Amino acid sequence: MDDVQDKIFDIIAKERRLDRASLTRETRLDEVDIQSVDLVEIIFAIEDSFDIDIPQEEDAFKLETMGDIVDGVRRLIAEKEQAAANA
């Protein structure tokens, strides 16, 4: 595993009081009973942790599995780094 995935899994486990070891990239958010209110808190925690802004449009950021969140955050981090490099 990598730091991004580890941090995201830690945030989700803490926010939802889940067993961290039970989370995998394939774990679906609905399987661990993450509701929209919970998701908002999780998104804020992820944004703060990685200093990124997660788009609220569903098409821009897929949120069905843990892997979707990890991949989306990695993409946003890469875009932010690319923008900084081009500035």
> Which residues are paired to 28 by β-bridges?
65
Task: Name residue, tokens 């609905």.
Answer: 30
pLDDT beyond 80 at 85: yes
CA 80 – CA 52 distance, rounded (Å): 8
pLDDT at 58: 61
pLDDT at 81: 93
pLDDT at 1: 46
Q: What is the pTM of this model?
A: 0.87
Tokens representing residue 52 in the block: 């990124």
The amino acid sitting at 53 is D
Second CATH level (architecture) for the domain 3-86: Orthogonal Bundle (1.10)
Task: Give 24-66 pLDDT, tens digit per residue.
Answer: 999 999 899 888 888 889 999 999 999 999 887 766 677 889 9
* DSSP character string of 8-46: HHHHHHHHHT--GGG--TT-BGGGGT--HHHHHHHHHHH
